[in-house]
Structure 1
């Protein structure tokens, strides 16, 4: 009797890896995030950066003034290969508690335009300059706002 094994015909064996990496789910509240060992350091890094840059001053609450609430935003950050790089937490003003004309007149969000990035990269390549990528944390906190 002729069989596949005697004829040297084999099927490739699929390689199965049991190594898995799990990521913490996005927390639904700051209390849930503080209890998670992955999100807790992220929140303390953000809070520490705000204290270091003196983002706010603690003042007594004036009477008949709308208080702007804050909330935590949590995101997973990935590297170029799609692997989880870090857990990122930000504390932001909750827009639901703002009143137009009272709490704000205009909004400003500094972003870099794609044309600017292309221009800088073109200049770097044309002049054979070394290029490096970096992530500046809390960059918006280092400027004076008026």
Structure 2
């Protein structure tokens, strides 16, 4: 048998707490840049270029040591992923560029 529930569940919406979906909040704001689909288009915008450089600096500082490729090495490919981070109120939080493992070069 299942236990009998002795308390009532109160949801956020019943308490009047709503978190707006950032996709639909302030759709008319033109100051939020679109996410680029290629490195070429991202490199034309100084803000996206800054985000890419921040990602490379973080990777170099935390993980990588760049070495010239040798014939016996397996070279791992990569690709850039671009995301626009938006606050709950619909304003721009930051531009995020991630370098992720992709197809081999």
Equivalent position to 2:75, from 67, 90, 102: 67
- RMSD over aligned CA atoms reads 2.3
Structure with higher helix content: 1
**Bigger relative contact order (CA 8 A; separation at least 6):** 2
CA–CA separation in structure 2 for the residues paired with 1:32 and 1:63: 32
Structure 1: tracts of 5 or more residues without a match: 1-18, 98-146
Rg (Cα) greater in structure: 1
- Correspondence 1:36 to 2:22: no
Dislocated runs of 4+, deviation >6 Å: none
Aligned length: 78
Structure 2: tracts of 5 or more residues without a match: 1-27
Q: Deviations over 1:64-104 (max 9, x none)?
A: 5432111111001011223221110011110x33xxxxxxx
**TM-score if structure 2 supplies the norm length?**
0.61
